[in-house]
Amino acid sequence: MKIRESGMPPESLWEDFFEPEKILEIMGFDNNIVNAVDFGCGYGTFTIPASKMIKGEIYAIDIEKEMVKRITERASNENLKNIKAVLCDFIHKGSGLKDQSMDYVILFNILHAEEPEELLKEVCRILAPEGKLGIMHWNYDPETPRGPPMAIRPEPEQCIKWATDLGFKLENRHDLKPYHYGLVFSKPEKEWTEGNELSTSM
């Protein structure tokens, strides 16, 4: 199921809203990272620069064939061999990635999903023990030039609550001027189990 209000404007318009390298750097994305995943990668606005910063591979997942085609084309144009573009509905099927296999998970402009907690549980499953989760979203401000309708746009405090209720630890909070906020979390020390309880993994 495609996340509500997750359609994209033309690529050039979208990419004018961001300085991706700067945002990734502020969000703690660096060359200590081996493997990463970009959920709902869109045009690859962040996947492309992220792929140049890491040691291993970055998975770029999107439900739209056009987006997967575009990122594949961009990777090929720049001869980037470490981008794995995946056509997948991660809401319906999960990411398909192995448990504890990712050092950084990118959730940018995506957490207005219908069931954000389910998405965060999948993130928890695939993150390595020292892994980081980066959430970026449009400011909770009706004046931003794009972004989901205010009725479904999450405030940073809401994202923090969703994540910390699952045991994620907020490491850093950023004002990504002019239009976004950023939140960086570390993986829960205790494993999430169904039944809504956090338990030790012993």
Ligand X SMILES: C[S@@+](CC[C@H](N)C(=O)[O-])C[C@H]1O[C@@H](n2cnc3c(N)ncnc32)[C@H](O)[C@@H]1O
Of 180, 130, 127, the closest CA to residue 153 belongs to 180
Is the CB of 5 or the CB of 130 nearer to ligand X? 5
Distance CA 146, CA 14 (A): 9
Asked if 8 touches ligand X (CB under 6 A), the answer is: yes
Asked if 122 touches ligand X (CB under 6 A), the answer is: no
- Minimum Å distance from CB 200 to ligand X? 32
| Sheet of strand 36-39, all strands in order from the earlier edge strand to the far edge | 83-87, 58-62, 36-39, 102-108, 127-138, 180-186, 169-176
Asked if 168 touches ligand X (CB under 6 A), the answer is: no
Residue count, binding to ligand X (CB under 6 A): 21
In Å, how far are 104, 175, 180, 184 from 27, measured between CA atoms? Answer: 10, 10, 12, 6
DSSP H or E segment with residue 165: helix 156-165
Residue numbers 73-112 binding ligand X by CB under 6 A:
89-91, 108-110
- Size of the chain in residues: 202
Distance CA 140, CA 137 (A): 9
Asked if 72 touches ligand X (CB under 6 A), the answer is: no
Which of 62, 85, 126, 138 forms a contact with ligand X (CB under 6 A)? Answer: 62
Stretch in the footprint of ligand X (CB under 6 A) among 38-46, 50-58, 115-123, 191-199: 38-46
Residue numbers 172-191 binding ligand X by CB under 6 A:
none
| Interface contacts to ligand X, rule CB under 6 A | 1-3, 6, 8, 40-42, 45-46, 61-64, 67, 89-91, 108-110
